[in-house]
Amino acid sequence: MAATIYFGNGAYGIEMASRVYFHKHASELTLAEAALLAGIPEDPSAYDPAANPHTARARRALVLELMRQQSLVTRPQFLRALHASMPKPDTIGLPRAPQGPAPYFAEYVKQQLIPVYGSGTVFGGGLKVYTSIDLGLQKIAERSIERWLGRPGNPSAALVAIDPRDGRVLAMVGGSNFAKSQFNLAVQGERQSGSAFKPFVLATALAEGVSPATHLTSGPVTIDAGGTLWRVHNYENSYLGSIDLNAATTYSDNTVYAQLTRLVGPGNVARMAHGLVITTTLHNYFAIGLGVEPVNPLEMARAFGTFANDGARVDGKVLGDEPRAVLRVTDGKRIDDWNAPVTKQVLDPNHDAMLTSMLEQVVQQGTGVRAQLPDRFVAGKTGTTENYGDAWFVGYTPQLVAAVWVGYPNKLKPMMTEFQGGPVAGGTFPALIWKSFMTPALRRLHDPPEFFPAPASQYAVPRMVVYRDNRWQLDNGNCRSAQEVVYVEGYGPKATADCKPNEVDVPRVVGLQLQAAEDRLASMPLTPQIITRPAKAGERVGIVVSQFPRGGTLSSWDTVRIILPKAIGGLVPRVVGLSLLQARKRLTSRRLLPFVEAFANGKPGFVLAQIPRGRRAAVPGMTIKLIVGRG
């Protein structure tokens, strides 16, 4: 796949890069020229010798220095290459046609074609490529962003629009100035999605039979995330008490969705998102449901397009699970590939209908009200990351889906005042851009308004469940921390927990003084049973060193055994502050061996410190090290 590496200025692969920058074959490159090209792919825009010659020169120097450190070049070779001239900006490039109307999309199409056909075929001429772009919608998308963010200093935006019925990419805005930066925000711009990721948690819950009627508590919550505590709060500390999943989705409640992620499992959320063509690496973090993982607008548009298409994902026959930006490729001879749509059912249609009906409420009365369209049925989700660094709106009708991201592309900069003096959230610029695009776009498509499919009613029953032994189980009537979840009939945990009557948690008392350990256990209430063992030399006494059981649960008043060291040979006396003569006398009387370990500044002839300390377990014949003062 080396040929797919992008070197900027339309160059893919080292051979084309050699021709673009130096007008020669790769085999003819000098050391300086090769080092310059080696440094470009990390960031083709930043290290572009035409646009940023000083940065490119510094990057070349770094490559050469690394080669020198690894003895790949001699010092004279290093110095000659270091001072070699750079290519002149006006000589960089191949003769090519003027920039087209959708340059980011065109570059993306090339990236799709090269792995399949090779750069030689793609750039060698003779291929006819029929793409999915609708140039009318492309202009509408660009104008919609310009309308809201056209002033200098405003944040940037990316927009991707897809026909959910056949997966065609109809518009793609990856930046405002392709000549200045070829970095495609719509494809390469991976940023946190915030609450726009919550529908993937919801889809997972519905697939596991969790009913939208399930109530969870909207309020500050602390979740045990595998040994660490995860504290979750809502923006502006606004809470609603006990609410169902409909309300939690409408008002984008973080605390409820954190609990829902725990209920369905973060690993299952990641699998659902991947099934919906989120291609970035997703980790099994509990925070996954709050959108902490980076995604890009193209994959978010495709995922929500699956929601708009009754839960069916659309891929291409030729290019696999890639978006359908290319429809047909032919050279008029041996190549004639039709990238026909191929559907895969990811979500049960009825579960998908339930999800869409809940996302409709987001637009009708929740955080996405600015995205409402006259006489159209709209579903969608806002997303805002912490400190307002990224803002999203992803929404759809039955005929068209669009994802909009707003933020600063080069760094994560909080957008605290950019929207009418206030912060930029998903329901502000992203929703407004989305509406400005969708209103004329739907008119252009000539598709009449359509209803979303109505979800069928399902029989659901509330069940008390408890998280135990790393899985959810049914409450046997004795579990203290059980919670109610409404499951569709036939779904939910099958195993029943073995909670004991009057069950209590066993606290950890290791390291506590005996009295504190007894008090802690009695307060549960549990019954402490003290078991002693001979103390080791120098060991602390009166401190619990072990317990059985170490944790878990017991019934009230059950016994917890605590292990306590007992000083069979008595205790080491404290001799700090005594003269060396007195200390020796006291220690030897206990059959202990004094040893002057060192001298230190302090009262001459007096003991400043001892090892082990006083009141530790003593064993006849053990050595007590002393630190003695000197003048």
Summarised one tens digit per residue, pLDDT across range 184-238 is 999 998 999 999 999 999 999 999 999 999 999 999 998 877 667 789 999 878 9
Two structure tokens written together for 464: 């008390």
Q: Which CATH architecture has domain 580-630?
A: 2-Layer Sandwich (3.30)
> Residue 227: its pLDDT value, please?
61
Cβ contact 81:89 at 8 Å: no
| Domain spans of the chain, in order of start | 2-96, 140-445, 459-492, 503-566, 580-630
Summarised one tens digit per residue, pLDDT across range 13-66 is 888 889 889 998 889 999 999 999 999 988 888 899 988 999 999 999 999 999
- Let me know if domain 140-445 sits in CATH 3.40.710.10: yes
CA pair distance 93, 50, nearest whole angstrom? 10
* Cα 272–Cα 463–Cα 251 angle in degrees, nearest 5: 55
Q: What is the pTM of this model?
A: 0.74
> Residue 403: its pLDDT value, please?
99
Cβ contact 230:287 at 8 Å: yes
> Residue 1: its pLDDT value, please?
30
Asked whether the domain spanning 580-630 has the same topology as the one spanning 503-566, the reply is: yes
Cβ contact 120:16 at 8 Å: no
Q: What is residue 75's three-state secondary structure?
A: helix
Q: At what angle do helices 266-275 and 198-207 cross, to 10 degrees?
A: 100
Write down the H helix ranges in 452-590. Answer: 514-522, 580-589
Cα atoms in the 13 Å half-sphere on the side-chain side of 223: 21
Cβ contact 337:300 at 8 Å: no
CATH code matching the domain that covers 2-96, chosen among 1.10.1740.10, 3.40.640.10, 1.10.3810.10, 1.10.510.10: 1.10.3810.10
Summarised one tens digit per residue, pLDDT across range 347-375 is 999 999 999 999 999 999 999 999 999 99
Summarised one tens digit per residue, pLDDT across range 299-349 is 999 999 999 999 999 998 887 778 999 999 998 888 888 899 999 999 999
Q: What is residue 500's three-state secondary structure?
A: coil
Fold of 503-566: Trypsin Inhibitor V; Chain A (3.30.10)
